[in-house]
Amino acid sequence: MKTLQAIFFLALITMSINTSLHASEKKEILWLQHLRAPWMISSGQFKNQGYGDKIRQVIEKSLPKYSHKTLPINPPRLLKELELNDNICYGPVGKFPVFKDKFHWSKALYVLTGFRIITLDVTNRKLNYPSQISMEKLLNNKNLVFGQITNMWHYPIKIEEFEHQNNIRSISSSAPLSSLLRMMQKGRIDWVFDHPVFVKWANMTNNTSKNENFVTIKVEESLKSPQVVAYFGCIKNEFGKQAIKDINIHLTKDNILQFRSLVQKWQLNDETLKSFMNLNKEYFGY
């Protein structure tokens, strides 16, 4: 009888220790991270210094109950990683159709301005300083040369209908936007289509004329597109559902304003800065 009591007592101690150890283990969040400066920077001299990285780090510090790890990926790898890992979170990022249904989503973090026509004042003067313009109209103007990034997917028109034209220069390189900006400054192309924050980064880090005053023009075909609102997303399972609940607790007004200030620094010019601030004040009410 004493032997059985001793065995039972040892079993209880073992169970208690295992339960205590299990309870003290931190659940890990695996954060997906791109190399798309200044949004996320997964490697190189400026690693983890993107505005998206800094926003993520605020939330990481607010969630000490979790351990946090980043996983560098390229866009085609995203869906595969969701199949391989059950503890993924992602963001800040928009609810894009390709993965919208794969995540539980947080409250909104900030609103981005839309993509713009980017050009120089000499071309803007030829166009008579428009505040908005049709991208199709620009492509049909054979006197202006468009600089295109090969395989770019977020055009507001069917770009393939125009790709046979002689007034389009396509480029694919390790830094295509930087190359296009240099081509524009040398007069080899007249305009590009991209997001202003990426243009500011490319010009600051790769171009010789770092103080170039790029002109931004709203695109008529994009005006009815949904706003680009940023969120955190966590994988669509019970882990992700709980992680989003924990994240939402810390999406306070103070943190939202901090996030806004981080993105605000990367607005390209007065037009995009004013647009960014107005969009966010209208959306959040402050």
Q: Calculate helix-pair angle for 176-185, 196-206, nearest 10 degrees.
A: 80
Q: Which residues are 169's β-sheet partners? A: 147
CA separation for the pair 125, 120 (Å, rounded): 9
What averages of pLDDT result for each successive group of 10 residues across the chain (286 residues)?
51 47 72 95 95 98 97 91 97 94 98 95 96 96 94 85 93 84 94 95 75 90 91 98 98 98 96 97 98
Residue 172: predicted pLDDT:
82
What lies within 8 Å, CB to CB, of 11 at 6+ separation is none
Considering the entire predicted model, what is its pTM?
Answer: 0.84
CA separation for the pair 95, 232 (Å, rounded): 9
Set out the domains of the chain in order of their start, with CATH numbers: 28-112+227-284 (3.40.190.10), 116-222 (3.40.190.10)
CB neighbours (10 Å) of residue 4? 8
Residue 189: predicted pLDDT:
97
Residue 224: predicted pLDDT:
85
Cα dihedral 44, 36, 277, 252 sign: negative
Please report which helix (H) or strand (E) contains residue 60, including its range: helix 51-62
DSSP letter string, 66-95: EEEEEEE--GGGHHHHHHH-SSEEEEEE--
Residue 152: predicted pLDDT:
77
* Rounded (5°) CA angle 144-149-155: 80
Amino acid occupying residue 260: R
Cα dihedral 53, 57, 60, 64 sign: positive
